[in-house]
């Protein structure tokens, strides 16, 4: 099986309502969908959803890197040679993990289709009985967040992820308001998204919400401050999760050596796809760390990829693959039954791409073929 063409679709996925986190407000999600065709007639789909604040890649740069730098070099490659494909991509360009993830996901979709297996069977099989998703709540006024949480409970959600990281006193009120709204036993995870600038600011918030019994605090320091995470971990019993500060093996090595965190948030866009993600999962398992698979608010393509990984690895104990629930239009359909999401056992990603919908959201298109 050889790759004969790679099509790129620069899409903007419309959000039902704006998504507000400490460093940005999104009204829609720019993403790059890739369609990889092989000489056997099989077609695989991948997706790269860039977050310039996290990996330094933009919508435009991801499209350009795929069209000019990575894509042409992969024509003629066998998608099964995923280790070599990553080696080649890493030799061609440093970083650019979102662009690499798009190719990686399409290769796994093709491997699954070629072997007639869902991707999770290529990664370890069904390690979990079911996959549950949390309700993710944007940064808003405390009472608005509390009302959203109550409404979500009535819709069937069993856990929450709160976005905070603006004014520290307001953040305390946000966490308290949601805890009061949902009762004492519903799991609440809190993500500061680097919004607190010093470890003392983080500790101030954490000490004032200790009775709220949050599951963990995610990225309570700026991304580069791994020592700050370690300091917070040593000062509180609230488990600490790294997200923006962890991309690939370099940071993974550092957090393990320093014993800086309790949990890691893996995103395919930060590490370069499923293949490098499995390396992170195995290192985490070795070091006794628990994993989550998060997302950049991706369409059903990259979300499905993350779900296959989540299902296959026992060390991955949570996921936040809720992008498809936030879009008013998508390129495929994933089977959410709140609070669960069910993966199909069809080959590859196990999703049906709606080409019409894909085209209707496409702002830029390019096809790479052998010259």
Which residues are near Mg ion by CB under 5 A? 191, 218, 243
Q: Which residue has the tokens 């669960």?
A: 340
Is position 355 annotated as part of the catalytic site?
no
Shortest Å distance, C-beta 195 to Mg ion: 11
Given the residues 218, 225, 244, 320, the one annotated as active site = 218
Tokens found for residue 127? 């390690």
Given the residues 148, 191, 225, 330, the one annotated as active site = 191
Cβ nearer to Mg ion, comparing 104 with 218: 218
Cβ nearer to Mg ion, comparing 57 with 243: 243
Cβ nearer to Mg ion, comparing 51 with 243: 243
Q: Which of 216, 243, 240, 218 is nearest to 230 (CA)?
A: 240
Is position 167 annotated as part of the catalytic site?
no
Cα(120)–Cα(330) distance, rounded to whole angstroms?
22
Is position 371 annotated as part of the catalytic site?
no
Cα(357)–Cα(11) distance, rounded to whole angstroms?
10
**Edge-to-edge strands of the sheet including 131-132?**
131-132, 340-342, 335-337
Q: DSSP alpha helices (H): ranges in 214-362?
A: 226-235, 249-258, 268-271, 274-287, 300-312, 323-326, 355-360
User: β-strand 160-163 against 188-191: which pairing, if any?
Assistant: parallel
Shortest Å distance, C-beta 193 to Mg ion: 6
Shortest Å distance, C-beta 40 to Mg ion: 39
Cβ nearer to Mg ion, comparing 51 with 191: 191
Q: Which helix (H) or strand (E) holds 201?
A: helix 199-208
Comparing every residue's Cβ against Mg ion, the nearest one is: 243
Given the residues 113, 163, 189, 313, the one annotated as active site = 163
Is position 17 annotated as part of the catalytic site?
no
Shortest Å distance, C-beta 161 to Mg ion: 8
Is position 218 annotated as part of the catalytic site?
yes
Residues annotated as part of the active site:
163, 191, 218, 243, 267
């Amino acid at each position: 099986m050889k790759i004969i063409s790679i099509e790129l679709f620069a899409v903007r996925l419309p959000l039902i309502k704006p998504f507000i986190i400490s460093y940005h407000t999104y009204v829609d999600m720019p993403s790059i969908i890739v369609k990889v065709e092989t000489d056997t007639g099989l077609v695989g789909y991948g997706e790269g959803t860039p977050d310039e604040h996290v990996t330094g890649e933009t919508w435009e740069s991801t499209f350009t890197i795929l069209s000019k730098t990575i894509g042409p070099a992969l024509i003629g490659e066998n998608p099964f040679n995923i280790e070599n494909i990553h080696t080649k991509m890493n030799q061609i360009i440093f970083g650019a993990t979102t662009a690499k993830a798009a190719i990686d996901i399409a290769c796994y979709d093709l491997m699954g289709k070629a072997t007639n297996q869902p991707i999770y069977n290529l990664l370890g099989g069904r390690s979990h009985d079911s996959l549950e998703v949390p309700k993710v709540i944007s940064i808003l006024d405390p009472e608005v967040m509390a009302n959203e949480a109550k409404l979500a409970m009535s819709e069937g959600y069993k856990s929450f992820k709160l976005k905070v990281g603006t004014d520290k006193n307001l953040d305390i009120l946000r966490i308290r308001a949601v805890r009061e709204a949902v009762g004492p036993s519903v799991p609440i995870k809190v993500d500061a998204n680097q919004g607190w600038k010093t470890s003392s600011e983080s500790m101030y918030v954490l000490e004032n919400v200790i009775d709220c019994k949050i599951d963990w605090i995610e990225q309570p320091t700026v991304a580069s401050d791994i020592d700050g995470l370690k300091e917070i971990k040593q000062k509180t019993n609230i488990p600490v999760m790294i997200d923006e500060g962890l991309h690939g093996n370099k940071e993974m090595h550092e957090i393990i050596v320093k014993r800086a965190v309790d949990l890691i948030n893996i995103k395919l866009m930060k590490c370069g796809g499923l293949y490098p993600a499995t390396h992170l999962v195995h290192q985490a398992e070795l070091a006794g760390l628990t994993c989550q698979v998060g997302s950049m608010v991706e369409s059903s393509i990259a979300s499905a990829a993350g779900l296959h990984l989540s299902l296959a690895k026992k060390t991955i104990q949570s996921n936040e693959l809720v992008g498809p629930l936030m879009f008013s239009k998508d390129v495929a359909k994933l089977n959410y039954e709140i609070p669960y999401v069910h993966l199909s056992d069809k080959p590859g990603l196990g999703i049906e791409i709606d080409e019409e919908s894909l085209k209707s959201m496409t702002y830029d298109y390019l096809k790479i073929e052998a010259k």
